[in-house]
Each structure stands twice: as structure tokens, then as C-alpha cells.
Structure 1
Amino acid sequence: MRISRTAGVLAVSVLLLVPVVAQASSSSSPWPHSVTLTESALQGVHGTAPDATVRNVLTVTASGAALRVRLGNPFGGSALVARSVWVGLQSAPGSPALVRGSNHRATFGLRRTVTVPPGGSVWSDPLPLAVRRGDHVAVSVYAPGSPINDHTFPPPQTHTPGSFQAPGDAGADASGGGYGAFAPGVLWWVDAVSAVSDARGTIVALGDSITDGYNAFGGGPRWTDVLAARIGALPPGQRLSVANAGISGNTVSVQPNPYDPTNQCCGPPAPVRLERDVLSMPGVRYVLLLEGTNDIGGGDYAPPAPAAQVIDAMRGIAARVHASGRKIVGGTVLPMCNAAGSAKEQVRLAVNQWIRTSGTFDAVLDFDAVLRDPADPTVMLAAWRSDCYHPNAEGDRLLGESIDLAVFRR
């Protein structure tokens, strides 16, 4: 059963009859029975916000009502002061205009402004807004002078998160007339949207650029979007939302980042961000882990990791997920163009063998077997790869379609 926008308004009206509870929970867990409709894991802090409004646009992966949005300041050295936050529905892809009547001012503990201290995050109160799977939620934030906690990456070509900017406090402008061009892949402060939903829970995909959608060129969505479409088409009672917690350049083990000595490009290592980006999200039932490529590959600022380092990190993540009462699904590491017999290829094969056979994961998705070239298993088949590390859109489609949905019924 789909949740109508009218039903969403009624649900929120009931919720707002208990303002004491709303105020107490504004910076803690969302309402019971809510799920995460979309996510954009914040990766670092880059500068200070100008006197402008950022209209962030994210695609939701399930239907729901009583929307809430989370603002994050995990990396800022000073407070994030959001003077106004508005939430509506984008009227059309590429446009800053909003659906008529959909734009609502968000409150936080019934207050219109909110201060998020360094290292913190805050959920809004429920909004009188309902969505259907595939809708584009626009979250407009005016926080001049605040540290820019962002997620910026070369985006995929469809279902692309991104943002618009307008001078001054322009969140109430539903026409979008004051906003500039769309900045694909650029999001500030908004790291999650939740809702009361008929979905039975959330899958969080914890990963690096392969999950983030880097270089997924060729006209299709990311593999997580393919998975969301498939699982969202199941009968009611079997549906799940899918939250993408991929960050390009991320590592699965705690180590210096191979690409950036400042550690601001690629997010904290997966074990460090596990609580923020996965376990704290509402409705999480399954975690899908696909990482290890950057650890094994190394870079200018960190040497290639040995197999034991990668395996220990994965084992630790799985243990924490299980301790929280959730299940974890492991994906094997894709081919990386390392020569047969080379040290890096031996590490990748050892890690994949452990993923397949250790019993650490509740289920295994053999992504390596899906995309490798039968004639040379050290590389992805040419028709399915963008470069040595990344599938193209066709490769992402194959990954998304290869996933046995039965693993999410266990």
C-alpha cells in the first residue's frame, strides 16, 4: 500500500500533538517505525559557508510520511548555525523549483533555528510532507559563516544527488528563480532523510567510490539505485529502503588515507564512521559492506595494506553490526588491474577467499565473480568497466541485478 501525501499530513498532525516528545527527540533518534529513505555520508570540511542558501536534492528509495532531515557537523571546528531550513519536493530533475505547496519550514525542538556543535548532528521535527519512492527531496539550508561539512564527488549520470545555491536566505523561494545552476554531486550538511514508512527496514550500503557512484558513466544509475528499484517493486511487507553510505576514497581499515594527508577528501575510515553513517540511522536491518579496494591499492600517502589488516577491519565491523542486532552482507573486492601473482593481487584474492568462506557474514555477494573477465580475472570485463577500479553504468546495472534479494529476507 502506498502512503498518500494526504495520509502523510494526517500522520504528522497526530505527531505534532505531542510537542514535548518532539522537542526531546529533535537531536536523538527519529520516531519509532521510521526508516532511512536516503543518505549522503559527509566526507570532510571544506571552507566556510557564504551568505547563501544551499538547496540540497536527494532521491528517496521508499515511500513515507512525517519526513525528518538530519544535519551534520562532524568535522567542523566551530558550530553549524542553521538560521533557516526548508524541505520540499523538486518539481523536475535539474530544476530548483519545488512542487506547489510542498515547501515547509523545518523546526528543531519546535524552533526555527538550530545550532549543531562540532562533532554533532541533529534531526528535525516531523514535517507535514509525504513522498513516494523516486521522489526528489529538496532541503534548503541557510547557514552563513558555518563550516561546510560536505559530500562532493564526481556523480553518476542518473539519480544524481546535488544542489543549487541562491544569495541570502532563499529557502522559502519555491519558484527557484533566485537559484543558480545545478551542482551535481555537491551536498552541504544534509546527511540523511527519514520517514514513517511501510518499508520493513533499511539496507545501508557501506562502501567507497564503487558504492558512491564514481565513474558510473553510460546513462544508468548506481548499483545501489538498481537494488533500491528492485526491492522497492516487491509486494508490500517485503520492501526495504536503501541508504547509500559510500564515500569515494574511503578505506575499510583505520589508516592514513592513501590519497589525502589531510583526511578531508574521503571520510574517516569505515570503522570510525560506522556509528554515524550506519548504526545511528533509523530502521537499519542490514548492512552491505563493499570496501577494501583503497586499502589494497594504496597511494602516495599510505602503502598497500596486507590481507590481515583488511580482514581484521572487516571482522571488527561485522562484530559491531551483529552486536547491534543487525545483519551484515559482504561483497567481494572487484578486480583492480593488478598483475597475476603480484603482491596486491595476492592480497585481493586472499581477502576474497576469506569473505567467501569465513562465515563472518550472514551472506556473501560475489561481485568479483560478476564483473571479472573470464579470460583475465585480474580485470573487469572491458564492456563493464570505466577504469581499473570502477565499473561503468552497465557494470553497476549488473551488480545491482546480480544481488539475490533472498539474502534480505533472512
Structure 2
Amino acid sequence: MVRQTLVAVAGALTLTLMGTGVAHGGREPLARTAPAHWTGTWEGSASGTAAALPGASIRNVVHTSVGGTAVRVRISNRLGTLPLALGGATLARQVRNAPKSPDALPGTMRTLTFGGRKKVTVPVGRDVVSDSVTLGVPAAANLLVTVHTPGDSGPATYHRDALQTNFVAPKGNRVADVRGTAFTATTRSWYYVTGVDVRRAEATRSVVALGDSLTDGSGSTPSANRRWPDRLAERLRALPARRQQGVLNAGVAGNRLLLEGRGPSALARLDADVLSRTGVRTLIVMEGINDIKSAPNQTDPAALGAAYREIVRRAHARGIRVVGATLTPFGGYGGYTDRRERVRQEVNRLIRSGGLFDAVADFDAVVRDPSRPNRMLAAYDPGDHLHFNDAGMRALADSIDLRVLEG
């Protein structure tokens, strides 16, 4: 395994279901003028469950990393306890320049079907992927994925910390509404929708960022898409079309590498959130700080090293390269102790020099204060001494050598 170091341093058709996989039941045209290539453009990992919203329509706002000419959407009941009955689902582009509006851009509303059917029941523990719909989707655009739950399907699989204003119409099937006047409530979580793929003329790969709240975006500006994977996507979009890649954010606030915390552990969700995603060529792993700082605390760096090796082994079996990110400072945070700092430093030594990964993103070196290396630079600190503000997120993403992602 060749290691590289990043400087300072992802009714008509039968519907098939899989435990943590998906069904690609889309209806494709019989002939094309050019080959179709699918890639992931957005992800919101299932982080837990919330109370169901029976009778409501939920309008999720998701942000693309790359664009395309057709779209398919992943709907999840992975963490539910009852079958999920959807009374309808749609896809549209959000009205331009209005990230906090529930209005769809006129002319872009599309009905989502599943094996040709407008309604679908998703079994417990399963995901489904919609049939493809033709829609021109720009890169860096907001899409509206709206679902209607006519009854109580039990706990709703959701992504709690979306850092995005989403909308709820409390009563009725409003999935096809272009004007969002019925969507009178808001939520900061994504309900049921966990992935979006686009079809492109170019054979575009995707990068997955697997992490915790530091990847999920805690500390960055809400509804502004300033998480570090968002900035990485921006950098990749500046490349020629054939070199562009989708970026999928598999960050979950509170997530741990080894134990269930907020949502399944990184090891437990690897198949669903990384290996089953479309076109994945590179995985960036930034996990472990919650294992160190949160009870029950992990005090054995070798245990984290073994988990990293398992992730790499499973990713390599799918032809996916793995970049390991060093763990960033948390001095001044409430969970900090000198002993935990020593564990963090030892884990970072393993990441940098242990031959665990195909490449290393030295995020710790990017953000630490040289005069107090157990703390981040004040310019990157939103005030809690753990997460990153917009400037810190940008610094992480800008430190990644894009050549490593293209290899």
C-alpha cells in the first residue's frame, strides 16, 4: 500500500429491497446517445429516530455537490421499528436564492416512483431507491425532497443535526405543491431521505467523508453549506468536468468509532453509509474523538487502530482507497483531560506513521495552536473549543491534496 501524505493535511418494474443496501429499480430509456454514469451527489446518514409525523408532508432541503441530467433518491427506514408507508414523494429544485423557502422552482416538480409505483412501504431495517427521474440538476443547488406519511409508521429514521432549515406541512399530502404555503412548520432535521444520486455524461466518482459532528458541520453557519465536505466539493467543482467528484457527507454528530453513541458506530454503519453508496472511490475517515472524550472513554489507542484497520480492509475489498484524518485538538472543552490528550496524541501517531491508511490528512497540524498544541487556533473556534467555525471548516478542506482523491 503506497502511502501519501497530504500537506497539512471520499407496477412496471420489480422493487428490490436490501437490509442496508438499496434497490435500483429505475426505468431507463431504451437508447441513449451517450453512456449514463451515476454518482452520489448528497448524503445525510441516518443518525437515529424521532417521533413520526402522521398525516404530515415533510419537505427536506438537500444540497448537491455535482450536477446531472437525471436523479434518484434513497429513502430509509433503517432504524425504524414498523414498516414505513409513504403516501407519495416528489423531487424539485428549490426556488433560486432562497435557502429558507419551501417554494419549488416552477417547472421542476417531479413525482418519485418506486418500481413504477407512487406509494411504497419500506420494511423495517431497509432502504429503497426511487426510479430515476429526468431533471436538470446543477452543481451546488438545493433540491426539495418531499415525502408524505399518511399514518403512524412508528419512529422515523432521520438525521438529527441537518444544519439546514427544512419544512413540514402538518396535514395532508402536499408533496406536489409548488408554492410552499402549506409548509407552516420547520425542522432542523432531515426525515427519511438519506441519499441522492445524479446521472452524468462523465464517469464521475464520489468521495465519502465518514465522521462525527466535526464532519457533520457543528459550529458552522446553518443553511449555508459551510461544512468542510461542502468546501471540499467546491474545490472539486473547480476542476475540469472529467476530474470532478461528488462529495457525500457521512458525518453524524455524537458518532463513535467503536461503540453506539449517536446512531450506530462507524464500524456498524460502514456498509450502509459508505460501501453501498454510488461511485465511491475514496473514503476520508475522521472518527475517534468521541471514543476518547466521552464515557465510556477509550483509553487504548490500539483499539482505535484496530478499528481503522478493519475499515481499510473492508473498503479495499470494494476497491475504495482510504484517507485517515488525524484527530483535532479539544483543549478547553469540558471533556478534556491530560490523559485523554495523551491518547489523542498516540492515536495521531498511529495515523501518521502506522501505515494504516493509503494517505493521511493531517487536520491536527492544520488547526492546532503552535503555542498550545492541545488547543485549536482561536480563529477557528466557535467558542466550545471542540468544533469549528466556517474558517476552521475551510482550513480543513483546503489542506487536502486533491491529487490523492484522483489517484
Whether contact under 8 Å (1:199, 1:239) holds in the other structure is no
Q: Which runs of 5+ in 2 are unaligned?
A: 1-10, 27-35
- Deviation of 1:134 after TM superposition, in Å, equals 1.1
Amino acid at match of 2:274: V
Candidates 238, 246, 264, aligned match of 2:251: 246
Higher relative contact order (CA 8 A, sep 6+): 2
Partner Cα distance (1:217, 1:138) in 2: 20
Partner Cα distance (1:304, 1:244) in 2: 25
Partner Cα distance (1:280, 1:242) in 2: 14
Whether contact under 8 Å (1:96, 1:164) holds in the other structure is no
- 1:331 counterpart residue number: 325
**Pairing 1:319–2:284 present:** no
**Pairing 1:48–2:48 present:** no
RMSD: 2.1
Partner Cα distance (2:93, 2:315) in 1: 33
Whether contact under 8 Å (1:220, 1:394) holds in the other structure is no
Q: Structure 1, residues 237-265: CA drift from partner, whole Å, max 9, x if none?
A: 11001010100000011x253xxxxxxxx
- 2:189 counterpart residue number: 186
Q: Structure 1, residues 345-391: CA drift from partner, whole Å, max 9, x if none?
A: 11111111111112221111100000000001000011111222211
TM-score w.r.t. structure 1 length? 0.87
Partner Cα distance (1:332, 1:374) in 2: 16
**Pairing 1:84–2:88 present:** yes
- 1:13 counterpart residue number: none
Q: Structure 1, residues 283-330: CA drift from partner, whole Å, max 9, x if none?
A: 11111100111001123xx23442112111111111100111111111
**Pairing 1:207–2:207 present:** no
**5 Å matches for 1:223-234?**
223-234=228-239
- 1:15 counterpart residue number: none
**5 Å matches for 1:106-255?**
106-143=112-149, 144-147=151-154, 148-153=156-161, 155=163, 160=164, 162-183=166-187, 185-197=188-200, 198=202, 200-217=204-221, 221-253=226-258, 255=259
Q: Structure 1, residues 168-213: CA drift from partner, whole Å, max 9, x if none?
A: 1100111111112443x31100000011123621001000000000
Partner Cα distance (1:389, 1:109) in 2: 45
Whether contact under 8 Å (1:154, 1:214) holds in the other structure is no
Q: Structure 1, residues 6-37: CA drift from partner, whole Å, max 9, x if none?
A: xxxxxxxxxxxxx96x5456852477721111
Indicate how the Cα distance of structure 1 residues 66 and 224 shifts in structure 2: closer, same or farther if over 3 A, else same. same
Whether contact under 8 Å (1:59, 1:134) holds in the other structure is yes
**5 Å matches for 1:30-49?**
33-49=37-53
Whether contact under 8 Å (1:79, 1:117) holds in the other structure is yes
Whether contact under 8 Å (1:154, 1:215) holds in the other structure is no
Partner Cα distance (2:349, 2:260) in 1: 26
Deviating more after overlay: 100-109 vs 332-341? 332-341
Partner Cα distance (2:386, 2:107) in 1: 44
Partner Cα distance (1:403, 1:65) in 2: 29
Higher helix fraction: Structure 1 or Structure 2? 1
Amino acid at match of 2:65: T
Identical aligned residues as a percent: 37
Indicate how the Cα distance of structure 1 residues 401 and 172 shifts in structure 2: closer, same or farther if over 3 A, else same. same
Partner SS for 2:242: coil
**Pairing 1:376–2:372 present:** yes
Q: Which runs of 5+ in 1 are unaligned?
A: 1-18, 258-265
Partner Cα distance (2:377, 2:81) in 1: 45
TM-score w.r.t. structure 2 length? 0.87
- Deviation of 1:154 after TM superposition, in Å, equals 6.7
